[in-house]
Every structure is written in structure tokens, then in C-alpha cells.
Amino acid sequence: MKSEFNWEYAPAPEAKDHIKLKAQYDLFINGKFVKPYSKKYFATYNPATEEKLAEVAQANSKDVDLAVASAKNAYDKVWKKMPAKERAKYIFRIARVIQERARELAVIESMDGGKPIRESRDFDVPTAANHFFYYAGWADKLEYAFPNRNPQSLGVAAQIIPWNFPLLMAAWKIAPALATGNTVVLKPAESTPLSALKLAEIIQDCDLPPGVVNIITGFGDTGAAMVAHPNVNKIAFTGSTDVGKIIQKAIAGTNKKATLELGGKAANIVFDDAPINQAVEGIVNGIFFNQGHVCCAGSRLFVQENVAAEVIQKLKARMETLIVGDPLDKNTDIGAINSKEQLDKINEYLKIGSKEGLELFQTSASVPKKGFYCKPTLFIGAAQSNRVVQEEIFGPVLTIQTFRTIEEVIEKANNIPYGLSAGVWTDKGSKIFNLTSKLRAGVIWANTYNKFDPTSPFGGYKESGFGREGGLHGLMPYLKF
Ligand code: NAP
Ligand code: MG
């Protein structure tokens, strides 16, 4: 289907000649980059070009031991004793250096992960800096945040993050941990380690006392060794529900505290009294933002039956204008899928949905031959029982269901193992309040979607995990009272 808005844009690639990547990255432990005991390294690739960007160290359990020992030592000897207002200065410093090096970080994030430069530049990197600014402000005000409760730090936090928002997830984890007086061992995902390693360089430049933040790279077994380590007091994990369950089992019977931010399958609900054009923008932002690699993506669209035809027609027209391609091009709306494995998984779901008899719509956008790409996709006429409705796809794939009454849509929206987020589009405030009190989801956006702010808590219900990150709530999992 050709849209009436089919402009052609000249290429506008962001320069990458200023990016300096080492051929090989070691582990950042005790303030220095050190060689791994394992002596092994693995490659990280640019998913848009399939080029190797660098090699990073593969930490084994001895490396994890060293990182945890350095975090514990820094906690006992330095960080726990430091006056909170001094701690805050370091966190402010990290925030400012992220701002100063924003362009470099944004380009690296897009090269390593495949996300459009517009997003890494305008969302990921500034929001990461904002998290450090925000939590720096709390560091010396904890007794005001929790009056008469004498908040105390926990010790060493093991933090494990996924590949969809590498730098931002690192900021979500590190900033509140430092503000509350804990020290950190962080592991980025294997396919996107570079921005976390750049953050390690920033932390070194900021003269943070050695060992307060340690950043180690590796695979799932590295994460498992961090979780199992006896000197770890707190686990902060963002990733899949499957691994979240493994972690919960591993820490059962210990007194380790944990927050788990897991998968999602959010309902985005459009009523017939909604501003339809605005809603269409929100639907597009909800599922195609970051290639749908978003735990809170609005991946299940529910449209009230009497406006379904209009919404679908406008949505298809808007999707036709989306540009899929080079993540470093400023015009690109949809970049590369993060890895070959993730693209295979999405393609598998495209087959499943088609086999389930759903109408598949994909835009006519051309996609580059090299690299991992997926066109924005709709499954129209979906039902609750479809696997593409029930399971998390984590790609630019939207299922569309219709509904007649508010009771029906609440029941359908909640009838899923996940409960991370939801969206509601309506002209009526009363409907918004009715829904927000009945939808079992941690975050609900009204007449907007995918908006984030460091002051606002984020987290799930049910199999989407527990604990909150962001805002005042985000301090609590790092404190004992
Ligand atoms: P994943 O496979 O669970 O991996 C997440 C992190 O855990 C990675 O660093 C991974 O290392 C590590 N890991 C793997 N196995 C482990 C184990 N047994 N013990 C400890 N750590 C282990 O998830 P993903 O595929 O990277 O990310 C996508 C998922 O994350 C989606 O389900 C998405 O919904 C969820 N997510 C949730 C949120 C939220 O806030 N709720 C935010 C973003 C993403 P490797 O990279 O080496 O495998
Ligand atoms: Mg990569």
C-alpha cells in the first residue's frame, strides 16, 4: 500500500570517525582494566552491518570472585563511610561526563545495538544522564525520603542487564545503588557490552574510588556466578522471565534482596472517543520504538470495534512512512534487530501467526541486504488464544484485537501472564481512572506511550517481576530499615 506521504529523504548519516574503540576490552575491576583469568575473549558485532566491532573479555567465576571482593573491599573501607554529600559529588560528576560525551555514547550505542541514532541521541543517553543527576540529588537526603526509619545500605549489588537499552539500564542500576551507599558489580548483555565499557572509562575519569563500580563482561554463566556469590547482598536483574525464575530459585533461602524486571506484553487500548490521529502516533511509538525491543512495548492493540477500520487504515498509512535501515542515519525510524538469534525468533513468530490464520500486513519499506532487519508488521484479527498474542515477541510486531465494552477489554488485557505496562486512549478522564485501577500493570500511560522519567517508578506485576526502579521507590530495594 502506497501512502500519500511517501517522501524520499537524502541519506543523513551520523559521523563515526570520532569513535575510538579498542580492539580488545578487559574487565573493569578495582578501578583498572584487567585481563580475565579465563584468558578468553568474545566478539561484539554491529547488527546493522554484521561487522565485528571489538572483542571483550569473558569473565569466569574467578573473575567474578575478584570483582565481588573488590566491591566488598570498597564498600567496607571507603564508600559506606563516606559522607553522603561526598558520594553525591561523584554521581553528579558521572552525569556531567555522560552529557559531555553524549554524542560518542549515542553513536556507540547505535553501532553495538542497532537502535536508530535519533533514539540513542535523544532518549537513551540523555535519560541515562538524568538518572545519575536525579539519584545524585537523593544521596544526602535519604533520611528525608524515609523519615524516622534510619535507612542503611546493603553492601555489594550484583546487577545484570539486557541488550535493549544497554547504557540506560546500566544507569538505572548503578545510580540508585551508589546514591544509597552500595557498591556494584555490573554485567552488560553479551551482544551490547560497549557502552557499559565506555561508562567504565567515564567512571575511571571521574576518579571514583577503586572498586565502587566494577564492570565485567561475559555470558549467562558469568551472571549466574554473580547471583550465586556469597558476598553479594543484592541482585538487580533486568531480562527475560525465564532467567528471572532461575535467579529466584538460585537465591531461595538466602537473605539476598532482589529486584526482577522481566518480560511484558502490554495492552494498548483505543476507545472510540479517542483522538484517533494521536492514538495512531502512540500505537506506532508504542510498538515500533527501538524495533519493539522494549519490555513495555504496546504489543497488543485493542481497538473498539466501531473505530477499528479507521484506526487500522490510518495505522497502515502511517507505517508506510516509517524508514527501516541504517541505525546511524538520522532519518531512520526502525534500525537493526539486535542479533541474528533475535531476528530468527521474530521470524519464527511471523510464521506462527500466519499459521494461526491471522492476516499479516508488512510495509513496502525496503530493507538493507546486509544486517538484521524486520519490517514493521501487523497481525490483524487476532484472538486471545493466539500464541502471538500470549507470548513476548520482542520485535516490531503488533497484534490487533477488537472489543465492544470496557469490561471485555479489561478482562482481555489482564488475561496474560505478564503485567508490566499498558496504554489507554480516550477523551474521558473517568474511563482512564476506571481502567488504571483495574488493569494489572505496573505502568499505565494515558493518551501517550513509552514516556520515561527518572522521578517515576517502573516495574511489573505477575511474571513481569517485582520491585521498582526509578523515583523514590527505586531507592528502597537498595536499603534496609
Ligand atoms: P536474558 O536472556 O534474560 O538476559 C539478560 C541478562 O542476563 C544478560 O546479561 C544475560 O547474559 C544474563 N543471563 C543469562 N542467563 C543468566 C543466568 N542463568 N543467570 C544470570 N544472568 C543470566 O534477556 P535478554 O534476552 O537479554 O533480554 C530480553 C528480555 O528482557 C525480554 O524478555 C524483555 O522483556 C526483558 N526486559 C525487561 C525489562 C524490564 O524493565 N522489565 C527491560 C528490558 C528488557 P547474556 O547476554 O550473556 O545472555
Ligand atoms: Mg553488538
- For a ligand 1 pocket test, name from 112, 240, 456 the mutation site with the most ligand atoms within 8 angstroms of its C-beta: 240
Residue nearest to atom 46 of ligand 1 (CA): 189
3-state secondary structure of 302: strand
Helix axes 429-438, 406-414, angle to 10 degrees: 30
| Residue 341 annotated among the catalytic residues of the structure | no
Q: Which residues make Cβ contacts (< 8 Å) with residue 1, sequence separation at least 6?
A: 316, 317, 320, 363, 364
3-state secondary structure of 304: strand
Cβ of 392 below 6 Å from ligand 1: yes
Give the helix ranges, DSSP H, for 322-380. 340-355
Distance 346 CA to ligand 2 centre (A): 18
Q: 366-395 pLDDT, tens per residue?
A: 999 999 999 999 999 999 999 999 999 999
Q: Give the DSSP letter string of 60-116.
A: -HHHHHHHHHHHHHHIIIIITTS-HHHHHHHHHHHHHHHHHTHHHHHHHHHHHH---
pLDDT above 90 covers a percentage of the chain that reads 98
Q: Which pLDDT belongs to residue 4?
A: 58
Query: Which atom belonging to ligand 1 lies closest to the Cα atom of 458?
Result: 40
Query: Which atom belonging to ligand 1 lies closest to the Cα atom of 241?
Result: 32
119, 261, 392, 469: which is the annotated catalytic residue? 261
Q: Which residues make Cβ contacts (< 8 Å) with residue 305, sequence separation at least 6?
A: 402, 403, 404
User: What integer is the mean pLDDT of 297-301?
Assistant: 98
Q: Which pLDDT belongs to residue 5?
A: 58
Cβ of 209 below 6 Å from ligand 1: no
109, 119, 295, 392: which is the annotated catalytic residue? 295
Do 211 and 71 contact (CB within 8 A), yes or no?
yes
Q: Give the DSSP letter string of 392-412.
A: ---SSEEEEEEESSHHHHHHH
pLDDT above 70 covers a percentage of the chain that reads 99
Distance 163 CA to ligand 1 centre (A): 8
Distance 106 CA to ligand 2 centre (A): 14
Q: 1-12 pLDDT, tens per residue?
A: 445 556 688 999
Cβ of 390 below 6 Å from ligand 1: no
The DSSP secondary-structure symbol of 369 reads S
Q: 44-61 pLDDT, tens per residue?
A: 999 999 999 999 999 999
Q: Give the DSSP letter string of 206-261.
A: TTPPTTSEEE----HHHHHHHHH-TT--EEEEES-HHHHHHHHHHHTTS--EEEEE
User: What integer is the mean pLDDT of 167-196?
Assistant: 98
Average per-residue pLDDT in the chain? Answer: 97
Do 216 and 67 contact (CB within 8 A), yes or no?
yes
Cβ of 394 below 6 Å from ligand 1: yes
Does residue 341 register a pLDDT over 70? yes
User: What integer is the mean pLDDT of 15-33?
Assistant: 97
Q: 222-244 pLDDT, tens per residue?
A: 999 999 999 999 999 999 999 99
Q: 266-293 pLDDT, tens per residue?
A: 999 999 999 999 999 999 999 999 999 9
- For a ligand 1 pocket test, name from 261, 295, 420, 452 the mutation site with the most ligand atoms within 8 angstroms of its C-beta: 295
User: What integer is the mean pLDDT of 292-305?
Assistant: 98
Question: In the chain, what is the straight-line distance between the N-terminal and C-terminal CA atoms, in Å?
Answer: 60
CA distance linking residue 474 with residue 454, whole number of Å:
9
Does residue 361 register a pLDDT over 70? yes
Ligand nearest to the CA of 111: 2
Query: Which atom belonging to ligand 1 lies closest to the Cα atom of 469?
Result: 40
CA distance linking residue 157 with residue 213, whole number of Å:
10
Cβ of 289 below 6 Å from ligand 1: no
Long-range pairs for 379-382: beta carbons < 8 A, 24 or more residues apart: 379/353, 380/312, 382/300, 382/353, 382/358
Q: What cell was used for 252?
A: 531461595
Can you give the residue ranges of every domain in the chain? 24-262+464-480, 267-446
Q: What cell was used for 417?
A: 501472564
Q: 406-429 pLDDT, tens per residue?
A: 999 999 999 999 999 999 999 999
Same fold, 24-262+464-480 and 267-446: no
Q: 394-405 pLDDT, tens per residue?
A: 999 999 999 999
Does the domain at residues 267-446 carry the CATH identifier 3.40.309.10? yes
Say whether pTM exceeds 0.85: yes
| Residue 261 annotated among the catalytic residues of the structure | yes
CA distance linking residue 110 with residue 339, whole number of Å:
13
Cβ of 264 below 6 Å from ligand 1: yes
Q: Which residues make Cβ contacts (< 8 Å) with residue 71, sequence separation at least 6?
A: 156, 183, 184, 185, 211, 212, 214
Does the domain at residues 24-262+464-480 carry the CATH identifier 3.20.20.210? no
Does residue 344 register a pLDDT over 50? yes
**Residue 8 parent element (H or E):** none
Q: 184-220 pLDDT, tens per residue?
A: 999 999 999 999 999 999 999 999 999 999 999 999 9
- For a ligand 1 pocket test, name from 124, 160, 173, 221 the mutation site with the most ligand atoms within 8 angstroms of its C-beta: 160
Q: Which pLDDT belongs to residue 8?
A: 81
User: What integer is the mean pLDDT of 65-77?
Assistant: 98
Q: Which pLDDT belongs to residue 1?
A: 46
Do 207 and 44 contact (CB within 8 A), yes or no?
no
